[in-house]
Amino acid sequence: MWKPDRTTKKPLYQQIVDYLERRISYGELPPGSLLPSERKLAEQLGVNRSTIIQAYEELRASGLVESTVGSGTRVSLTKWGIAPKHTPNWRSYTDGGTFLPNLPLMRRIREVLRNGEKLIDLASGELSPDLFPNSIIHTLLQQDPFQEYLGYDDPQGYYPLRSALTSFLLQHHNMNTTESSVLITSGSQQSLYLITQCLLSPGDAVAIEDPSYSYSLPMFQSAGLRIFRLPVYNNGIEPDDIVKLYRQHRIRMIFLNPNYHNPTGTTLDPAKRVQLLDIASKLGIPIVEDDPFSLTSFEGVPPVTLKSMDTDGLVLYIGSLSKIAASGLRIGWMIAPQSVVKRLSDARQQMDFGLSIVSQWLAERLLRSPQFDLHITKLRHALEQKQQLMVNALTDILRDKVTFTPPQGGLNLWCKINLKIDDSKLLEEAIKRGVVFVPGSVYGSEQGYVRLSFAKPHVDEIGAGIAGLAHALKRY
Amino acid sequence: MWKPDRTTKKPLYQQIVDYLERRISYGELPPGSLLPSERKLAEQLGVNRSTIIQAYEELRASGLVESTVGSGTRVSLTKWGIAPKHTPNWRSYTDGGTFLPNLPLMRRIREVLRNGEKLIDLASGELSPDLFPNSIIHTLLQQDPFQEYLGYDDPQGYYPLRSALTSFLLQHHNMNTTESSVLITSGSQQSLYLITQCLLSPGDAVAIEDPSYSYSLPMFQSAGLRIFRLPVYNNGIEPDDIVKLYRQHRIRMIFLNPNYHNPTGTTLDPAKRVQLLDIASKLGIPIVEDDPFSLTSFEGVPPVTLKSMDTDGLVLYIGSLSKIAASGLRIGWMIAPQSVVKRLSDARQQMDFGLSIVSQWLAERLLRSPQFDLHITKLRHALEQKQQLMVNALTDILRDKVTFTPPQGGLNLWCKINLKIDDSKLLEEAIKRGVVFVPGSVYGSEQGYVRLSFAKPHVDEIGAGIAGLAHALKRY
């Protein structure tokens, strides 16, 4: 976002006045809009609160904004002497809509991360910049001249990329598939979104792991689904629980993340996988296998995916480049029966008309690049090392205050805090100390758990991050 | 999609057998799946029907598929001698979902275009490959090393691109805006989708031009909106009609495409624009201004946008690169009040987590490139010439059988056929003669209209395309 320019002679408060005047006159802040509080704006722009106070005074003097005690500072209804008009009550629009906003805690975390520069980020489930395949991408863009067709793409996705994926999935997951069963999406998020919008109807019952990343996604509620929980144990869910849920609620779909599960890090036991597929097949319930992490396996042996064991076409397999290459590429995939791929690509065409050819073309080059395997190997080692650093810091600093089991892959460490805590209060305490994490309740777990991501922070930050968390815990 | 390889010695039917066996064994065609009819598969794979008959016989012999007269050919329930299992009834899933599939006519057109190679395409509202800025893009990718951050992007979009857009909109549309009021989307389609999902609730009444591109988008029905029609006259809609609709139905939003309207090509009269904004402002109803075409203005003078006249922040402005550069880039934008931008970017983050940094980075370079203005100028002239070619062909070949008014910009020609026709029947007749267009009924118009796009066909194809249409019309 915009920040004042400290290199010019123009005083900061004046720059802020001009900036807000511009936004008001351009209709971006219509008459009646509430401006941020002085404290908040100061935080956002990284200036002293006194600077904001001075800027707001200036704006009040010009009659452009009005402040009333309690209700804050608003854009005046009569601005530039123009007679007031009925601008739309935007509030009533933004508060409406069938699609629900993100959870307040998630929005809080993202807002803090967007504004605060010097925070240690144990919250974002993504790789640190040094782990992205920057140099490979750099080279690919320079060496291969781009000459693809720039018109509307096949709604299923760029064919050469789907073709590269069939080889990739065979090589890494021993998964047999053909181009026509691959749907390219902008990531696991969009794959899940398409499934909830197009294959399920309001009132349908679905089974989701407890805890699960899915609980942080209001998209399930937006689709009007009834969610039933499958408790996650040390070796994953209990397949028999599905039978119970089916008898009671006629669940229509099962959402699982069997490999280095987010947030707990557990991996579904091989014997249970066989049992699970057998039960799902007998009941005729599809399984959505969300598999973002399996290639991060520290030993280099990814768990056997459900899809590769699936002989009856009951698994919808979801993967992406976000956790193994770079989230900014926005490339994901779904492997599904043809009728499902057809239905979803038709809907997706209406929603966004598909992905950029350029990014799909680049992803295809990346997957086919001989450098990519090397990248994955480096990534695995780097993640293992980062996890070890976090484990050491936790053992040194927090000892018996926390309990955790380090997974053999993935980006996250799931910690039980052995103290009575309110996890959102703990988050605020941590933020004050320059550390951000995700409270377990975001994933539907009971109080007392936190998800610490070791992938995003720089190696030098991990220890300090845990120290900050320990500080925050001192309050208890 | 897959096609048999005519260069190998392996007989075509055998290649098809292997291909279908693979897809069946990979679960892509689960037991019970219906295979395409012999005629249809022959058409799709571009082989003789006899080849398909031979392939299906082979598959039946192996017990992999079963044919029953009337109900076609299906994948056997007992395959490879494995005992039958209850694979999910995928049909019941793909037929469900709140999000509606595309209109049958649109799916038919897209299917025909995907499979038939030698068709003349007067249906797709996009540019022909020779009009894309290929060389500029080629150069940009080679000369500027990509070094952007590859993590999750700001949900509003890549800042440098939003910044480039503020200059672009000021230069070409005299539109004042700031980075913080720009939301980057994957195109107008996604902008409309976000609005219908996040700002409107089921049962809300909205006003849409009649005819309109919007009627070809089931997304409005998917959102449960009540749609009321604003008839389009030679100089656009009648603003007073909005007052009537508001009194009767309390419409909450107005969707307009005022510049070279799709499909009719009409442009809203300047005086009516003033009147429209005044009425909308008095009633406090937001206007969605969909503006994909204005820069194609043949004279090089784009119509004045509603947004640039909007002093009250009541216009949500939608633009994209699809019709002025290349649809495959999937870059669009919305200019809106801050509260709206915030709400939509939050929702969008849940749906697809934003766009690829690579394509946004490229779009920013493209907009800032000194070559881009030159590209636009070339594009305008090329489109004017193509329209002229179509007009000539229509006048020569169809004379008094059609009536139309050539617009001064845009990609389409809206023709009234002066004969009693069923437009979907006419489409099938045209397809037989190698020509595809969009029947007017797709856009909600009465029978007897067709939308002919002159942008997509090559200059040499336009005459032949109209000749094919004339042939099809001979049936009447």
Q: What is the CATH number of the domain that holds A403?
A: 3.90.1150.10
Indicate whether B131 pLDDT > 90.
yes
Indicate whether A316 pLDDT > 70.
yes
Q: Which residues of A touch B358 (CB under 8 A)?
A: 137, 141, 328-329, 356, 358-359, 362
Is there a contact between B30 and A349 if contact means CB atoms under 8 Å apart? no
More confident residue, B10 or A83: B10
A379 in the same domain as A365? no
Answer for the pair B468, B430: CB distance below 8 angstroms, yes or no.
Answer: yes
Residue B6 lies in a domain: no
From residue B397, give the alpha-carbon distance in Å to each of B138, B467, B468, B474: 40, 7, 10, 12
B65 in the same domain as B20? yes
Q: Which residues of B touch A223 (CB under 8 A)?
A: 98
Residue A144 lies in a domain: no
Q: Which residues of B touch A187 (CB under 8 A)?
A: 352-353
From residue B294, give the alpha-carbon distance in Å to each of A27, A352, B164, B290, B336: 22, 21, 19, 10, 19
Answer for the pair B312, B283: CB distance below 8 angstroms, yes or no.
Answer: no
Indicate whether B272 pLDDT > 50.
yes
Residue A258 lies in a domain: yes
Residue B141 lies in a domain: no
Report how many domains make up chain B.
3
B363 in the same domain as B219? yes
Give residue B79's pLDDT.
54
Indicate whether B476 pLDDT > 80.
no
Give residue A71's pLDDT.
79
Which amino acid is present at B99?
F
> Chain A within 8 Å of B189 (Cβ-Cβ)?
yes
Q: Which residues of A touch B193 (CB under 8 A)?
A: 350-352
Print burial letters for A56-67: b (CB count within 10 Å at least 16), e (below 16): bebbeeeebbbe
| Per-residue model confidence as pLDDT tens digits over B427-465 | 999 999 999 999 999 999 888 999 999 999 999 999 999
Q: Which residues of A touch B2 (CB under 8 A)?
A: 178-180
Give residue B81's pLDDT.
45
> Chain B within 8 Å of A33 (Cβ-Cβ)?
yes
Give residue A78's pLDDT.
65
Is there a contact between A26 and B177 if contact means CB atoms under 8 Å apart? yes
Q: For B407, list phi and psi in degrees, rounded to 5.
A: -75, 165
Residue A340 lies in a domain: yes
A268 in the same domain as A188? yes
CA gap A64, A25 in Å, rounded: 10
Give residue A81's pLDDT.
46
Indicate whether A476 pLDDT > 90.
no
Q: Which residues of A touch B101 (CB under 8 A)?
A: 343, 346-347
Range of the domain at A393: 106-126+374-475
A187 in the same domain as A156? yes
> Chain B within 8 Å of A241 (Cβ-Cβ)?
no
Which candidate in A44, A312, A366 is best for mutational testing of the B interface (most B CBs within 10 A)?
A: A312
Is there a contact between A129 and B141 if contact means CB atoms under 8 Å apart? no
Give alpha helix (H) positions in B132-179. 134-143, 159-173
Distance from CA of A461 to the nearest CA of B (A): 18
Nearest CB to B284 within list A88, A147, A310: A88
| Per-residue model confidence as pLDDT tens digits over A252-305 | 999 999 999 999 999 999 999 999 999 999 998 999 999 999 999 999 999 999
Mean pLDDT score across all residues of chain B:
92
Give residue A86's pLDDT.
67
Indicate whether B82 pLDDT > 60.
no
> Chain A within 8 Å of B328 (Cβ-Cβ)?
yes
Distance from CA of B283 to the nearest CA of A (A): 7
Distance from CA of B443 to the nearest CA of A (A): 15
Chain A CA closest to residue B200: A97
- Sign of dihedral through CA atoms B388, B391, B395, B400? negative
More confident residue, A395 or A31: A395
Phi-psi region of A122 (alpha: psi -120 to 50; beta: other; left: phi over 0): alpha
Range of lowest pLDDT (A192-206, B139-153, B175-189, B331-345): B139-153
Q: Which residues of A touch B99 (CB under 8 A)?
A: 197-198, 347, 350-351
Report the first-to-last Cα separation within chain A, whole angstroms.
Answer: 36
Distance from CA of A400 to the nearest CA of B (A): 35
Percentage, residues of chain A above pLDDT 70: 98
From residue A177, give the alpha-carbon distance in Å to each of A154, B2, B195: 18, 13, 37
Is there a contact between B150 and A129 if contact means CB atoms under 8 Å apart? yes
CA gap A152, A349 in Å, rounded: 10
Is there a contact between A189 and B352 if contact means CB atoms under 8 Å apart? yes
Read off the pTM.
0.89
Give residue B86's pLDDT.
67
| Per-residue model confidence as pLDDT tens digits over A164-181 | 999 999 999 999 999 999
Range of lowest pLDDT (A65-79, A311-325, A455-469, B252-266): A65-79
B322 in the same domain as B291? yes
Percentage, residues of chain B above pLDDT 90: 70
Is there a contact between B189 and A141 if contact means CB atoms under 8 Å apart? no
Is there a contact between A350 and B281 if contact means CB atoms under 8 Å apart? no
Q: What are A124's two structure tokens? A: 């974002």
Is there a contact between B97 and A198 if contact means CB atoms under 8 Å apart? yes
B241 in the same domain as B179? yes
B415 in the same domain as B455? yes
A117 in the same domain as A69? no
Give residue B83's pLDDT.
45
Q: Which residues of A touch B82 (CB under 8 A)?
A: 311
Domain C-terminal end among B57, B78, B96: B96
Give residue B43's pLDDT.
87
Give residue A82's pLDDT.
47
ipTM: 0.88
Distance from CA of A119 to the nearest CA of B (A): 16
B311 in the same domain as B196? yes
Mean pLDDT score across all residues of chain A:
92
> Chain A within 8 Å of B108 (Cβ-Cβ)?
no
Q: Which residues of A touch B219 (CB under 8 A)?
A: 350-351
Count the residues in chain A: 476
Q: What's the per-residue H, E or C state across chain A?
A: CCCCCCCCCCCHHHHHHHHHHHHHHCCCCCCCCECCCHHHHHHHHCCCHHHHHHHHHHHHHCCCEEEECCCEEEECCCCCCCCCCCCCCHHHHHCCCCCCCCCHHHHHHHHHHHHCCCCEECCCCCCCHHHCCHHHHHHHHHHCCCCCCCCCCCCCCCHHHHHHHHHHHHHHHCCCCCHHHEEEECCHHHHHHHHHHHCCCCCCEEEEEECCHHHHCCHHHHCCCEEEEEECECCECCHHHHHHHHHHHCCCEEEECCCCCCCCCCCCCHHHHHHHHHHHHHHCCCEEEECCCHHHCCCCCCCCCHHHHCCCCCEEEEEECCCCCCHHHCCEEEECCHHHHHHHHHHHHHHCCCCCHHHHHHHHHHHHCHHHHHHHHHHHHHHHHHHHHHHHHHHHHHHHHEECCCCCCCCEEEEEECCCCCHHHHHHHHHHCCEECEEHHHHCCCCCEEEEECCCCCHHHHHHHHHHHHHHHHCC
A303 in the same domain as A268? yes
Task: Return the CATH number at A274.
Answer: 3.40.640.10
B324 in the same domain as B257? yes
Three-class DSSP category at B3: coil
Mean pLDDT of B417-422: 92
Distance from CA of A457 to the nearest CA of B (A): 13
Instruction: Tell how far CA A45 is from the center of its chain.
Output: 25
Q: Chain B neighbours among A 246-275 (CB < 8 Å)?
A: 252
Residue B410 lies in a domain: yes
Range of lowest pLDDT (A82-86, A112-116, A133-137): A82-86
Mean pLDDT of B219-233: 93
Domain C-terminal end among A330, A352, A369: A369
Percentage, residues of chain B above pLDDT 70: 98
Indicate whether B468 pLDDT > 90.
yes
Nearest CB to B352 within list A187, A313, A346: A187
Residue B140 lies in a domain: no
Give residue B85's pLDDT.
58
Task: Return the CATH number at A40.
Answer: 1.10.10.10
Residue A241: is it exposed, middle or buried by C-beta count within 10 angstroms (0-12/13-18/19+)?
A: middle
Residue A3 lies in a domain: no
More confident residue, A59 or A273: A273
Indicate whether B96 pLDDT > 90.
no
Q: Chain A neighbours among B 291-310 (CB < 8 Å)?
A: 310
Is there a contact between A351 and B101 if contact means CB atoms under 8 Å apart? no
Domain C-terminal end among B369, B401, B419: B369
Nearest CB to A283 within list B86, B137, B154: B86
Banded pLDDT at B97 (limits 50, 70, 90): confident
Indicate whether B134 pLDDT > 60.
yes
| Per-residue model confidence as pLDDT tens digits over A211-267 | 999 988 889 998 999 999 999 999 999 999 999 999 999 999 999 999 999 999 999
